[in-house]
A = this chain, B = another copy of it.
Amino acid sequence: MARAATTSDAFNAVAEPRRREILQFLATGERSVGEIVMRLGFEQPSVSKHLRVLLEVKLVEVRRDGRHMLYRANAEAIRPLHEWTSTFERLWKHQLLQVKARAEKKSQA
């Protein structure tokens, strides 16, 4: 088997850095494709293709306004990622304390 499709879930969709940039820009509000192109400086077809992927996994939603397509982030679809990473929160806080403890022990010696 090959790698899972980018459209298979939010995890795969946001693996692409440009899609993350687009999402973060959309987090500031509804934007047209042209505004995204202007702001991020990607090629227009590239932006459209990335938006399509984001749309398929419901990370964004669209509505038409004349000839403009207005995209907005659907934050709800990012929650699963947030929750998955949260299961490690306890762990990294713990690990940070250990690192600190070792550092302090060293500075004493």
- Chain A contact-residue range equals 20 to 34
Partner of A11 from B15, B73, B74 at Cβ < 8 Å = B15
Q: Closest chain B residue to A24 by CB distance?
A: B87
Asked if A42 is an interface residue, CB under 8 A from chain B, the answer is no
In the complex, what residues of B have CB within 8 A of residue A82's CB?
82, 85-86, 88-89
Q: Is the CB of A85 within 8 A of B81?
A: yes
Residue positions of A touching B, CB distance < 8 A: 3-4, 6, 11-12, 14-17, 20, 23-24, 27, 73-76, 78-79, 81-82, 84-89, 91-92, 94-96
CB pairs A–B below 8 angstroms (16 shown): A3-B15, A4-B17, A11-B15, A11-B20, A20-B84, A23-B88, A27-B87, A27-B88, A73-B88, A73-B91, A75-B92, A75-B95, A76-B95, A76-B96, A79-B92, A82-B88
